[in-house]
Amino acid sequence: MHLFISLNSKNESNAIKAVDKLTDQTELARVARDSWSEKVRMKAVEKLTDRDTLLNIAKKDKVATIREIAINVLIEQEVINQEELVLFVEDFDYWETCEYAINKLTDQELLINIAKTDSDYSMRELAIKRITDNEALLEIAKTDSDYSMRELAINEITDQSIETQEALSIIAMQDDWDTVRITAAKKINDQDLLENIANNSKCVITRLNAADKLTNQTLAQEIYYDIAKNNEEWDHFSEDYNELATKRLTDQVLLADIALNNYGGREREIAISKLTDQETLAKIIAKGKAMGSPMYIGDYEDDLAYMALDRSMQLKRQHMTTLSANTVNIPLQLINGHIFVLLDEKLWMINTGARTSFGDDRNLVLCGEKFDINSNYHGYSTDTISQYIDAPCAGLIGADILNRFDIIFDIPSGKLTISKGELPCDGQNLKLDEFMGIPIITVHIDNKECQMVFDTGAQISCFLDDSLTKYPSAGTLMDFNFMVGYYKTKTYTVPISLGSTTYTLRCGGTLPDSISKMFTIPLIKGIVGNEILKSCVVGYFLRHRYTISIK
């Protein structure tokens, strides 16, 4: 009698304790069906063992959570098979329970069948997300009549084999829906396939996305240039593609051509805003002045001339803007994936991974401080760098000079700030050490602490560990180092954590012999390259033993 009173108690805690003691299945079924408290009913369902009672609750109870508990108990007690679970998906009125049941399915054939044939698109989506069979996902991606299902299937593909990459490239080239082509292109890492898509796709946005993933930056720039100059599609999507392509351009020759000769309008304005060459800006200014008579007032060429004049003045201010007696801003740009600054109209590579600076100009001046540098480094000169960037390079500024200053890299804004004093810089502090003058930063890979060289002269990172090949392949890269010139390396995409931020970096696994000698120290596991600098502001303060990252 006391137990009966407790079960019917309006004190929920007492009622739950009473259910805990209850073993009679008939009484448990009554409580599961009739109790005023959902928590008491849940507790009763958890203790049921009768299959028919559990199936009845799973199918008919009006509370979604109780239906789901019943399904879970059936699965745990192994009294319901995968085929019976499918019935909850196919013949059921409660969407929440359908979703719960499909998320409990593991049988790939049943999931594939639902993904292909179910009349409810929501169920198909849920099934696709549970499919791990690569061939099945590819078939859906290639043949499903609904573009959203094709796109979803592509997103679920994790296989990185060349066969899968080739299948995705066909989709990227031939699918009749833009978003499907774009999604397929974003999944491809093989450089040959990406080059084919970037060069030959009839979809402009797919070309842009493929070019974004190219490691051959010269080719990528040529494709951006081609789209910026020649795209003539004017549907509701592509009217901005010319502008998007121009915004991706960094090559000064190509930007100059668009700024001087393109008649698209907005693309010329964007190109002018990205120019750093004063000679080209002067030509645009002169072109406007030539039309400066009263009859040309308001002419677009005059508007562009004023923009060019503003840009020219901005560059001159940036070139050596004295923020304080000890601080300067210097124009910064990426060329072929490497960082250069402009000093007295000459390009200098910024390379924290090089111990010693060298250059054609033996007297380098930074922040009013004069440095006497050698003309070469153990026989390596600026000629190698000049050949690589296809432009005269005055020299390389290495760790021996950089480590004497507070430095802020701001690639998005195109400037490098250098100071003898302490620069204010808010952000996440990361410990920075040094070995023989080379900066060493602590990262975490797979929750393991690793010491890596922080090398702004490296366009990709490097992870010298046998586990590298378990990560997704990112293709073969032709990289460059001032000591060896070009060299090839296989690369992989590796999640690397710096403090609380995780970056997915492209990592090689081999280095030329002349570079790899410095990695004979067991604790140093590779290189963190300049990829981390491209999308955020980074303070480099080795003399204070830390760096700061600002997203």
User: What mean pLDDT is predicted for residues 45-65?
Assistant: 81
pLDDT digits (tens, 9 = 90+) for 140-176: 999 999 999 999 999 999 998 999 999 999 999 999 8
| Together in a domain, 139 and 121 | no
For residue 464, tell me if it sits in a domain.
yes
At 50, give phi and psi (nearest 5°).
-75, 120
| Together in a domain, 356 and 458 | no
Pick the last residue of a domain from 285, 318, 351: 318
Query: Is-contact 295 272, C-beta < 8 A?
Result: no
What is the predicted pLDDT for the residue at 322?
Answer: 47
Taking the C-alpha atoms of residue 281 and residue 262, their distance in angstroms, rounded to an integer, is 15
The DSSP letter of residue 374 is B
Of 316, 250, 256, nearest to 284 (Cα)? 256
Query: Is-contact 209 182, C-beta < 8 A?
Result: yes
At 324, give phi and psi (nearest 5°).
-155, -175
Half-sphere exposure for 56 (CA within 13 Å, toward CB): 10
For residue 228, tell me if it sits in a domain.
no
| Together in a domain, 67 and 124 | yes
| Together in a domain, 25 and 95 | yes
Taking the C-alpha atoms of residue 281 and residue 287, their distance in angstroms, rounded to an integer, is 10
Structure tokens at 518: 């410095």
| Together in a domain, 7 and 106 | yes
pLDDT digits (tens, 9 = 90+) for 270-324: 999 999 888 888 888 887 755 444 434 456 777 888 888 888 888 776 655 545 5
Q: What is the pTM of this model?
A: 0.50
For residue 226, tell me if it sits in a domain.
no
Taking the C-alpha atoms of residue 144 and residue 149, their distance in angstroms, rounded to an integer, is 7
| Together in a domain, 178 and 166 | yes
What is the predicted pLDDT for the residue at 74?
Answer: 75
pLDDT digits (tens, 9 = 90+) for 189-209: 999 999 999 999 988 889 999
Determine the 3-state secondary structure of 492 from DSSP: strand
| Together in a domain, 482 and 381 | no
For residue 234, tell me if it sits in a domain.
no
What are the CA-CA distances from residue 283 to residues 199, 279, 545 (Å)? 32, 6, 46
Pick the last residue of a domain from 82, 103, 130: 130
What is the predicted pLDDT for the residue at 231?
Answer: 80
Which secondary-structure segment (H or E) carries 67? helix 64-76
Structure tokens at 370: 């004069």
User: What mean pLDDT is predicted for residues 31-58?
Assistant: 83
Tell me the pLDDT band of 5, cut-offs 50, 70 and 90.
very low
The DSSP letter of residue 240 is G
Pick the last residue of a domain from 418, 449, 484: 418
Determine the 3-state secondary structure of 183 from DSSP: helix
Q: What amino acid is encoded at 467 in this protein?
A: S
For residue 530, tell me if it sits in a domain.
yes
Structure tokens at 165: 């990459």
| Together in a domain, 104 and 147 | no
User: What mean pLDDT is predicted for residues 463-492?
Assistant: 83
What is the predicted pLDDT for the residue at 188?
Answer: 92
| Together in a domain, 197 and 262 | no
For residue 256, tell me if it sits in a domain.
yes
| Domains contained in the chain, number | 5
Rg (C-alpha) for the chain, rounded Å, is 32
| Together in a domain, 306 and 329 | no
| Together in a domain, 70 and 161 | no
What is the predicted pLDDT for the residue at 397?
Answer: 94
| Together in a domain, 117 and 140 | no
For residue 230, tell me if it sits in a domain.
no
pLDDT digits (tens, 9 = 90+) for 334-392: 888 889 999 888 899 999 988 899 998 888 888 888 899 988 887 778 887 888 777 78
Find the CATH number of the domain harbouring 458. Answer: 2.40.70.10
Structure tokens at 482: 């001032």
At 368, give phi and psi (nearest 5°).
75, 0
Please give the full DSSP string across 384-413, using - where no structure is assigned: HHHHHHTS-EEEEE-HHHHTTSEEEEETTT
Structure tokens at 343: 């000093």
Domain extent for 489: 428-550
Which percentage of the chain shows pLDDT scores above 70?
Answer: 87
Query: Is-contact 183 147, C-beta < 8 A?
Result: no
For residue 202, tell me if it sits in a domain.
yes
Determine the 3-state secondary structure of 196 from DSSP: helix
